[in-house]
Amino acid sequence: MPRGLFGLAELLAARTRLKTAPRGDGRPVMILPGLVNTDRSNALLQRFLRTLGYRVDGWGLGRNLGTKAIGREGEVLMERIAALHTETGAPVTLIGVSLGGIMARIAAHRAPDLVREVVTISSPYAGSARATNVWRQFEFFTGDRLDDEHVVAQAALAATPLPVPETAIWSRSDGLVAGEICHAPGSRSIEVRSSHIGVQWRAEVMLAVAGILAGK
């Protein structure tokens, strides 16, 4: 937690630098939270992207408790993405933090016509979930076991290259998940220096996201 608070202090000190971020084009963006977090955990990133001109929504599904929140096959999340697509008339850019990024990748596989691109932030999709320090918490809060057939299938799907543009933001100094499994060879990735907690508050991360959405 102290490293996360440091990231918040660093963000406040970087306000001038954040103003240099490229402007957005109004496209719809949905940000998915990490394990046990809600949309409030992404409030700063949401506000930043809105100031750039994007149409930004949270996922609106409360705490991220895995299948308890999105449905066993992700059907509840898919309904939210489809609704935003219908409302705006445009494919949705999905940004997912940690577990939210894994869910975003699965959603893009299931409905690539609804998704413009996927950005993952510290999401351990490219390797064994046991290469994290939170897999027991995942099982406790979601009620799913890593060796459950449907969990294994979802993990395999998340690790498969996407049918839409994908970018992974990751850190070697994450502390909770192995940075090496937060990006895949051959896919675009951006390395940052950050702890896992509060990674989405880091100015470096916010600027990276703005650059990705602007096509830089």
Q: What is the 3-state secondary structure (H, E, C) of 118-144?
A: EEEECCCCCCCHHHECCHHHHHHHHCC
pLDDT at 147 over 80: yes
pLDDT at 26 over 80: yes
Residue with the larger pLDDT of the pair 135 and 114: 114
- Picking from 12-26, 114-128, 158-172, which range would have the lowest pLDDT averaged per residue? 12-26
The C-alpha atoms of residue 148 and residue 160 are separated, in whole angstroms, by 19
pLDDT at 6 over 60: no
Q: What is the mean pLDDT of residues 33-46?
A: 97
Q: What is the mean pLDDT of residues 6-32?
A: 82
Per-residue model confidence (pLDDT) at position 13: 63
Burial class (CB in 10 A: 0-12, 13-18, 19+), 86: exposed
Beta-ladder partners of 96: 32, 120
The C-alpha atoms of residue 203 and residue 2 are separated, in whole angstroms, by 17
Q: Using DSSP, state whether 103 is helix, strand or coil.
A: helix
Model confidence pLDDT, tens digit, residues 96-116: 999 999 999 999 999 999 999
Q: pLDDT class for 131, splitting at 50, 70, 90? A: confident
Q: pLDDT class for 164, splitting at 50, 70, 90? A: very high
214 neighbors 193 (Cβ within 8 angstroms): no
pLDDT at 41 over 70: yes
The C-alpha atoms of residue 104 and residue 106 are separated, in whole angstroms, by 5
Q: How many helices (H) and strands (E) does the chain have?
A: 9, 6
pLDDT at 2 over 70: no
